[in-house]
Amino acid sequence: MHKSQDVLYLSRRQTLMLALAGCSGMAMAMDPTPAEANIFMPSIAEQKKLGEQAAQQILKKYREVNDSRAVRFKRIGHNLVSALSTNDQRTWNFSFHVIESKQVNAFALPGGPMFMYTGLMDRLNNNSEIAGVTGHEMAHVRLQHWAKSYANEQERNLGLSLLLGLTHASSTVQKLASVGDSLYTLHYSRHDERQADEYGLANMVAAGYNPQGMIELFMVLEKLSASNPPAFLSDHPLTSARIADVRRLIQDKYSQDLRRPMSGING
């Protein structure tokens, strides 16, 4: 019963790999990229396209749940979107899906599609905990963490090939050929995790939720990891420094919001 026999389980990277396998014509470097980006950075339009393709693959593999849990997750997700800047709301295509799987997991794909597994949803105790994981995942999307990690890895590969005196072929075909491999090896850095916590926390508080939900979410994951480490933690390692950072942030900026109901002001 508790054993994880879910053969359909895919990590975020495997999901993207799957999408890319059917995506041979994705144009790279055609759209303007953010100022801080290097030449390998997929544009926002490319991120959205990639995310949308991967989302379609997920929805083919898994059964999407349409019961009260889905209604609840969509409501909380939309509350968080409403609390974002107009620019963020215009830029990203957030969508919220609950899928049937015992895995304790949730992830957002580049561009905005987010998936909550029933295995995690059923273990969360209130709306503020759900808002915690949702805000965190949405922050990875808004901060373009996947695209930046991908770009950095490409840059390192280029540096290595120059160092070795190899000719670097910069054709689109060559670049795309290397996307798949890099998706398997990318992990969010500690910096990205902390940044996603910070932005996610600000977002959930702005949407009317109790910031303690983020800490309670960590406690739920930590408790589970003692017996059967949740899949969520392999993509989002939870360190004591991370938890301490969030506690400090709450004390410094959001202590008055700790009086809110755990269901959130807007439910």
Residue 142 binding Zn ion, by CB under 5 A: no
Task: Give the residue from 98, 99, 49, 52 showing the smallest Cα distance to 77.
Answer: 98
Any contact of residue 58 with Zn ion (CB under 5 A)? no
Task: Specify the residue, 12 or 72, whose C-beta has the smaller distance to Zn ion.
Answer: 12
| CA-based nearest residue to 186, from 253, 227, 240, 140 | 140
Q: CA triplet 74, 233, 243: central angle to 5 degrees?
A: 90
Supply the minimum distance, in Å, between the C-beta of residue 231 and Zn ion: 13
Shortest Å, Cβ 235 to Zn ion: 6
The answer to whether the beta carbons of residues 17 and 180 sit under 8 Å apart is: yes
Residue among 209, 206, 199, 204 at smallest CA distance from 266:
209
Q: Using CB under 5 A, which of 131, 196, 220, 250 touches Zn ion?
A: 196
Q: Is 12 in the site for Zn ion (CB under 5 A)?
A: no
153, 197, 216, 257: the catalytic one is: 197
Kindly identify the residues of this chain, within the stretch 209-238, that bind Zn ion according to CB under 5 A: 236
* CB-based closest residue to Zn ion: 236
Q: Distance (Å, rounded) from C-alpha 99 to C-alpha 64? A: 4
* Residue 137 annotated among the catalytic residues of the structure: yes
C-beta closer to Zn ion: residue 236 or 260? 236
Could you say which of 137, 193, 216, 257 is catalytic? 137
- Minimum distance of Zn ion from residue 102's CB (angstroms): 21
Give the integer Cα–Cα distance in Å for 97 and 99: 6
Shortest Cβ distance from residue 138 to Zn ion (Å)? 11
DSSP 188-221: --HHHHHHHHHHHHHHHHHTT--THHHHHHHHHH
DSSP 143: T
145 belongs to the binding site for Zn ion (CB under 5 A): no
Quick check: 84 binds Zn ion (CB under 5 A)? no
User: For this structure, is 181 an active site residue?
Assistant: no
Binding-site ranges for Zn ion (CB under 5 A): 193, 196, 236
Question: Active-site positions?
Answer: 137, 197
